[in-house]
Amino acid sequence: MKPFEGYPAYGAVHDVLPNEQLRGFLFDFSRIADKVIGQAFASEEVDPIPDYVAPEDFKAEPISVVPAESDEKPYDSRDFYRIFDVESLGVSVVEMDPSAKAARTIRTIWESQDFGAVEQEARNEIGRSLPNIVPHLFFNRVEGVGRRLPGVSRSDVRQKLALMPDTTRFAETLNTIDVEADKIINAILKRLKQFMYPWDTTAHMTYSVFRSSTEPGQIIEIQKKTNEYLAKYPFGVQLGQLVFRHKKERNRTR
């Protein structure tokens, strides 16, 4: 087996069990974003979804803000943002980028077997440290996460949006995630054979990414309107399994 050619970007998430509330939030978020970016944001409030909405109704229709006779390209939400597939969403336990950055600093690459060894060690430690619970989180706000929007110097405009948990609810789940993060990071650092300062492990669920064509002011407005919505209609989800993720990172120009 060939050595792993690259720096180890290694992390973990809890997958999320999709429910009607989560699907409904993503649908209503698309309505908010379309109205802001399409410059057709109505003065009335966005209503919550009904108790039941057919799956086909969760796909938002693009809002055209260009007259039919115009030669300009009509508004298409895909040119400005993307909402991640609800089936692939996960609540972060350990982000992937910091481990690659740490490995790059000390010029360390891993072989394939290193990934399995880290996962096994972390799972063993987690199993000895934590009781079995059914984890839940309650989301009541969103925040910008990730890198800054390309070409924008403002630190408060990030490329992605994430749902953030209410820290007053489901304390046992938040404690579980903290312990899992600690065990995973220790296993990574032990394999790197180098002390590195721990990185931020704030639990969140990233669900949308903006493209560079989106104006910073639009992102700020979308975040504001989404938080106003969540203040009225927060919701909870059940978390599933702990899933380890990894990829190789090569040298790159920043």
CATH number at residue 92: 3.90.1140
In a domain, 50, yes or no: no
In a domain, 43, yes or no: no
In a domain, 44, yes or no: no
pLDDT confidence of residue 10: 80
pLDDT confidence of residue 39: 65
In a domain, 69, yes or no: no
Structure tokens, 162 = 């994430």
DSSP SS3 for 92: strand
Rounded (5°) CA angle 54-25-40: 95
In a domain, 60, yes or no: no
Q: What is the pLDDT of residues 75-124, one digit of tens each?
A: 888 999 999 999 999 999 988 777 777 667 667 667 777 778 888 999 99
pLDDT at 45 over 60: no
If one counts the domains in the chain, the total is: 1
Amino acid at the residue 54? A
Residue 14's domain comprises: 7-19+84-249
Structure tokens, 219 = 């992102």
Helix (H) or strand (E) holding 101: helix 97-105
Within 10 Å of residue 112's Cβ, how many Cβ atoms? 12
pLDDT confidence of residue 5: 59
Q: What is the pLDDT averaged over residues 139-145?
A: 95
Residues paired with 245 in a beta bridge: 11
CA 221 from chain centre, in angstroms, equals 19
Higher per-residue confidence, 107 vs 136: 136
CA 77 from chain centre, in angstroms, equals 19
Q: How confident is the model at residue 22 (pLDDT cuts 50, 70, 90)?
A: very high
In a domain, 155, yes or no: yes
pLDDT confidence of residue 72: 64
- The model carries a pTM of 0.80
pLDDT at 55 over 50: no
pLDDT at 216 over 60: yes
pLDDT at 194 over 70: no
pLDDT confidence of residue 1: 46
Average pLDDT, rounded, for the chain: 81
In a domain, 228, yes or no: yes
pLDDT at 210 over 90: yes
In a domain, 99, yes or no: yes
